[in-house]
């Protein structure tokens, strides 16, 4: 079968498959066509793809392949009935695009729907690989903007105290942010609505901010549950008080398929010190900070710097592409059987989610296969409700 790797739309610097993945894909029996220039923004040249055994060509040839692997979801108008698309479809925010695929008879597999608690899915989890990089880069952006040094320094001119960093949310991105800030020499405080996160925070060098009445607000898929407005307010008040004298504040709270919750209201920003930097990791989905401007860095009236950089993994396009490519290559080759070849099985828990009654089953978040043969997959009940 032929795999097509198209150039991503403007603003997306990553590429879905890198030259280093060619050997594994070829061994599994795939022929790979790459659109000319697809990897340039991520520092992968056409010649590297050619040398690795890929065919570099026109977009029309790439988009006619049986399987399309991309990051952003292609427009249905470029696709044909019977094709298979593996990408990050973000289906709860783009139901109309999913419906277009359904109506066009396209098999759509959304990699952001990987069931995190299946051990064999870990190497295919694009959310984790990209969030790791985003957490790392968020701290670097904060360090670049803050008008002071990060580590403790003892000099003949005096002693510089270490910077105080507060990480709001301690999932994959948050833990990487904590570890990065700690490596830079900061004193790091971190919060999470999941009480179980305390041990993880401390294991990477952070100090856990506990909120009265905190429970383990985590769903079966490993994501944070939506909270009541009252408890959100209590968390905001407690954590923002700790952050009032911080030098860098990184917000990471993201709820799957929903707008980002506000964890730093405008009233809290007024109490932050001048020169403090807020790095909002969720500017692309509404932002955790009430004053975030997506795609911009701006300074508030009281001198707080708010960083709203979108697509943080894309700022590390070379590494992000390599990790994404590894995820997708592992995923797509797992669908190849030595005897029967490439096949999509509805018995595969990664594709369709675990059966009802299994501890891993979460309706609408159970697997990557959203639609096949022009029909919505029957187990995707929550997505079906949206459409």
The residues annotated as belonging to the active site are: 116, 122, 125, 128, 223
Residue 337, classified by CB atoms within 10 Å of its CB into exposed (0-12), middle (13-18) or buried (19+), is: exposed
Strands 164-168 and 2-5: unpaired
Under 8 Å CB-to-CB from 226, ≥6 apart: which residues?
255, 258
The pair phi, psi for residue 260, each rounded to 5°, is: -65, 135
Confirm if 239 and 263 have CB atoms less than 8 A apart: yes
- What is the Cα–Cα distance from 261 to 224, expressed in whole angstroms? 11
Name the β-bridge partners of 67: 3, 84
- What is the Cα–Cα distance from 235 to 192, expressed in whole angstroms? 9
The region that residue 280 occupies, defined by phi over 0 for left and psi between -120 and 50 for alpha, beta otherwise, is beta
Confirm if 177 and 250 have CB atoms less than 8 A apart: yes
């Amino acid at each position: 079968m032929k795999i097509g790797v198209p150039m991503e739309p403007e603003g997306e610097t990553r590429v879905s498959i890198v030259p280093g993945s060619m050997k594994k894909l070829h061994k599994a029996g795939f022929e790979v066509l790459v659109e000319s220039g697809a990897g340039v923004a991520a520092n992968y040249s056409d010649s590297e793809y050619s040398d690795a055994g890929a065919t570099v060509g026109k977009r029309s040839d790439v988009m006619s392949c049986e399987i399309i692997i991309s990051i952003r979801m292609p427009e249905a108008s470029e696709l044909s009935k019977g094709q298979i698309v593996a990408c990050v479809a973000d289906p709860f925010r783009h139901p109309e695009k999913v419906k277009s695929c359904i109506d066009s008879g396209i098999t759509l597999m959304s990699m952001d729907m990987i069931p995190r608690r299946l051990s064999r899915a870990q190497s295919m989890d694009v959310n984790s690989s990209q969030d790791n990089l985003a957490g790392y880069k968020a701290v670097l952006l904060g360090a670049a903007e803050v008008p002071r040094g990060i580590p403790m320094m003892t000099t003949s001119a005096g002693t510089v105290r270490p910077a105080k960093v507060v990480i709001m949310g301690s999932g994959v991105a948050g833990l990487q942010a904590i570890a990065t800030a700690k490596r830079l020499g900061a004193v790091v405080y971190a919060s999470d609505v999941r009480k179980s996160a305390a041990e993880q925070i401390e294991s990477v060098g952070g100090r856990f901010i506990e909120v009265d009445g905190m429970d383990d607000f985590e769903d079966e898929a490993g994501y944070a549950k939506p909270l009541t407005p009252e408890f959100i307010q209590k968390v905001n008040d407690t954590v923002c008080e700790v952050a009032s004298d911080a030098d860098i504040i990184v917000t990471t709270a993201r709820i799957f398929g929903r707008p980002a919750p506000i964890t730093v209201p405008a009233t809290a920003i007024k109490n932050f010190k001048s020169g403090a930097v807020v790095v909002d990791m969720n500017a692309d989905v509404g932002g955790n900070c009430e004053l975030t401007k997506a795609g911009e860095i701006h300074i508030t009236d009281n001198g707080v710097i708010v960083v709203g950089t979108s697509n943080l993994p894309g700022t590390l396009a070379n590494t992000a592409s390599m990790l994404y490519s590894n995820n997708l290559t592992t995923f797509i080759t797992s669908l190849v059987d030595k005897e029967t070849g490439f096949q999509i099985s509805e018995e595969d828990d990664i594709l369709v989610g675990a059966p009802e009654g299994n501890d891993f089953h979460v309706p609408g978040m159970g697997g990557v296969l959203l639609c096949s043969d022009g029909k919505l997959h029957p187990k995707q009940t929550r997505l079906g409700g949206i459409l």
